[in-house]
C-alpha cells in the first residue's frame, strides 16, 4: 500500500463517520422542533461543513507526533435545546442519534467487508483495498460510538445521562461540561482512554467478525496490516 492508498483507507470512513454522526444530531433535533442546524446549513452531507480545523486536523496531527495516539473531534452541530418541544426528554434522543448513526454505518461497512472478503481470493486486485477500508470503517465507527457513549459531558453519553437523571444531578453534570475535554485528555495521557474506548471497540469488532461468520485467519492478517498502518 502506498501513502495515498493508506490515507484513503482511513480518510473516507472518517469523513463518512463524522459527517453522518453530526447530521444525525441535527436531523433528530429538527424532528423534535429545533431547526437551528437546518437554518445554519449544518444538515448537509458535505464533510467540509463538519470539519473543525483544530479538532479534526491540528490536534490529531500534533497528538500523533507527540504521543503516537490520535484524538480529535468534528465541529458539533448546534442544537438549541430550549427549542425542543420537551427539552429534557428530547435531548436524550438528539444525543443518542449520533452513536446510533455510527451503529448503522458499522452495519453498512460490515456488508461491504463480507463482499470484499469473498472477492479477496479471486483475481480482483481491489479486494484487499476494500477489505482494509471496510475494516477501518467498522473500527472507526465503533470507536466513535464507544467514545461518545462515555457519560462525560459534553459527549453524547453525558447528555443522555443528563436527560435521564433528576434535575439536581443534571445541573451538576452541566457544571462539569466545560471541563469535559480536559477530562478526556487526562484519561488519554494516563492511558485510561485506551482501555475505555479502544479495547472495547476491538472486542466488539471481534464479535462482529464472528457474527458474520468470518474466520480469524481470514481477517486477522488484514487487521494487523490495518492497525500497523495506523501506528
The catalytic residue positions are 22
Task: Judge whether 128 and 52 are in contact, CB under 8 Å.
Answer: no
Q: Give the DSSP H/E element, type plus range, for residue 205.
A: helix 199-211
Determine what percent of the chain falls in helix, strand and coil, rounding each to the nearest 5. Answer: 75, 0, 25
Residue 225: cis peptide before it, omega within 30 degrees of 0: no
Helical segments of 121-191, H only: 127-148, 156-164, 167-176, 180-189
Task: Judge whether 48 and 100 are in contact, CB under 8 Å.
Answer: no
CA 56 to chain centre: 12
Q: Which residues, in sequence order, are CB contacts of 223 under 8 Å at separation 6+?
A: 135, 205
Amino acid at each position: 500500500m502506498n501513502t495515498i492508498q493508506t490515507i484513503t483507507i482511513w480518510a473516507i470512513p472518517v469523513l463518512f463517520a463524522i459527517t453522518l454522526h453530526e447530521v444525525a444530531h441535527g436531523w433528530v433535533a429538527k424532528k423534535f422542533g429545533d431547526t437551528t442546524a437546518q437554518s445554519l446549513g449544518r444538515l448537509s452531507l458535505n464533510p467540509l461543513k463538519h470539519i473543525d480545523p483544530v479538532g479534526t486536523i491540528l490536534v490529531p496531527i500534533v497528538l500523533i507526533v507527540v504521543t503516537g495516539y490520535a484524538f480529535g473531534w468534528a465541529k458539533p452541530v448546534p442544537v438549541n435545546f430550549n427549542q425542543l418541544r420537551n427539552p429534557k426528554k428530547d435531548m436524550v434522543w438528539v444525543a443518542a442519534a449520533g452513536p446510533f448513526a455510527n451503529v448503522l454505518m458499522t452495519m453498512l461497512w460490515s456488508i461491504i467487508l463480507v463482499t470484499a472478503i469473498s472477492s479477496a481470493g479471486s483475481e480482483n486486485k481491489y479486494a484487499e483495498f476494500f477489505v482494509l477500508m471496510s475494516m477501518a470503517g467498522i473500527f472507526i465507527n465503533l470507536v466513535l460510538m464507544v467514545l461518545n457513549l462515555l457519560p462525560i459531558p459534553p459527549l453524547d453519553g453525558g447528555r443522555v445521562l443528563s436527560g435521564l437523571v433528576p434535575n439536581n444531578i443534571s445541573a451538576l453534570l452541566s457544571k462539569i461540561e466545560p471541563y469535559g475535554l480536559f477530562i478526556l485528555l487526562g484519561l488519554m495521557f494516563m492511558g485510561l482512554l485506551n482501555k475505555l474506548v479502544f479495547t472495547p471497540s476491538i472486542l466488539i469488532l471481534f464479535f462482529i467478525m464472528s457474527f458474520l461468520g468470518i474466520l480469524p485467519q481470514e481477517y486477522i492478517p488484514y487487521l494487523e496490516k490495518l492497525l500497523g498502518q495506523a501506528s
